[in-house]
């Protein structure tokens, strides 16, 4: 701001400096409650994931048959124990690592691949675009979970195959989002200007279009992570995910099913953990979307 704009007076006279600092600071920290709540929850979850070995004295897979079926708030076992006498809190905490990893890894490849494909087809158009849209039409015809299960049935159970199966269809939303945004941007002046000064298509797509169309795709990452974590948990509930005795929430819920009346905590608590992570990520996604939408 030049002094001229302030009527020739120094800035400090127009707005007292103390106030100036204060307003900007307030503006900076004004975050929608939805977003804030989501972020706080997610940070808590991440802290649990990182510090899992420090939070619990028990090995998540060590069996202690004399300690089996202890209810929550038993001495030494805050969330109780399961049928093998394993500490539930320890299993939930260690599983946080695995489930966050599933969420993160399952979206990273689809996000990068899908966004690039979406930008390329949106910008270049033509046959490439038509082919992409038909592939999308075909893949969208499959119920997501059934296609993932069908792929896993060939590849076999396990984590790596889970990533592959989710990745086969997971890129579609990102491609659709960035393609739509690119279609809306590609006739804007700055793109035309870039083309006029002789930028290559690749440069225009990566340096000019990408930064402007990536935000909605990034927001969708949070929805994608919720979907991936739920899918991972569902597959491991069905016995197709990480194999026992690896602690995973979905698998823990499945293990507890037979002891529903005897030990309700075996199924209830891991589900709550899933719920917390899902709500945290959804709140962040919603909060960011609201912020963009104004």
- Give the nearer residue to another protein in terms of CB position, either 218 or 279: 279
- Least distance to another protein, CB of residue 37, Å: 10
Q: How far is the CB of 282 from another protein (least distance, A)?
A: 5
| Nearer Cβ to another protein (46/210) | 46
> Which residues of this chain interact with another protein, rule CB under 8 A?
134-135, 137-147, 149-156, 226, 230, 233-234, 237-240, 250, 253, 257, 260-261, 264, 267-268, 270-271, 274-275, 278-279, 281-283, 286
**Whole-angstrom Cα distance, residue 28 to residue 24?**
6
275 in Cβ contact with 122 (< 8 Å):
no
CB-nearer residue toward another protein: 139 or 194? 139
Map 230-255 to HEC letters: HHHHHHHHCCCCCCCCCCCHHHHHHH
C-alpha angle 82-250-174 in degrees, rounded to nearest 5: 160
- Please state the separation of Cα 66 from the chain's center in Å: 39
Residue with tokens 């539930």: 88
Closest separation in Å from C-beta 70 to another protein: 19
* List of residues 6+ apart from 20 with CB closer than 8 A: 11
Closer CB to another protein, residue 164 or residue 194? 164
Smallest gap from Cβ 199 to another protein, in A, equals 31
CA distances from 210 to 10, 75, 204, 215 (A): 41, 55, 8, 9
Instruction: Name the residue nearer to another protein (CB basis): 74 or 130.
Output: 130
Minimum distance of another protein from residue 239's CB (angstroms): 7
């Amino acid at each position: 701001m030049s002094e001229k704009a302030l009527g020739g007076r120094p800035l400090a006279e127009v707005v007292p400096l103390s106030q100036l600092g204060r307003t900007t600071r307030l503006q900076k920290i004004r975050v929608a409650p939805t977003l804030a709540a989501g972020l706080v929850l997610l940070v808590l979850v991440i802290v649990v994931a990182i510090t899992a070995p420090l939070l619990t004295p028990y090995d998540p897979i060590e069996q202690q048959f004399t300690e089996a079926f202890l209810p929550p708030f038993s001495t030494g076992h805050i969330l109780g124990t399961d049928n093998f006498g394993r500490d539930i809190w320890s299993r939930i905490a260690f599983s946080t690592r695995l489930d966050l990893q599933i969420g993160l890894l399952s979206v990273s490849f689809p996000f990068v691949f899908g966004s690039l494909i979406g930008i390329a087809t949106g910008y270049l158009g033509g046959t490439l675009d038509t082919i992409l849209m038909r592939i999308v039409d075909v893949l969208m015809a499959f119920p997501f979970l059934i296609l993932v299960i069908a792929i896993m049935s060939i590849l076999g159970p396990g984590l790596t195959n889970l990533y592959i199966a989710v990745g086969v269809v997971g890129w579609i939303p990102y491609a659709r989002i960035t393609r739509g945004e690119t279609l809306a941007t590609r006739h804007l002046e700055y793109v035309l200007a870039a083309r006029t000064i002789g930028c290559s298509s690749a440069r225009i797509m990566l340096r000019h279009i990408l930064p402007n169309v990536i935000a909605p795709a990034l927001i969708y990452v949070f929805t994608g992570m919720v979907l991936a974590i739920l899918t991972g948990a569902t597959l491991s509930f069905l016995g197709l995910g990480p194999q026992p005795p690896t602690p995973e929430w979905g698998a823990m819920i499945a293990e507890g099913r037979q002891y529903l009346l005897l030990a309700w905590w075996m199924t209830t608590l891991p589900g709550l953990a899933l719920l917390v992570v899902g709500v945290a990520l959804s709140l962040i996604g919603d909060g960011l979307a609201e912020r963009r939408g104004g």
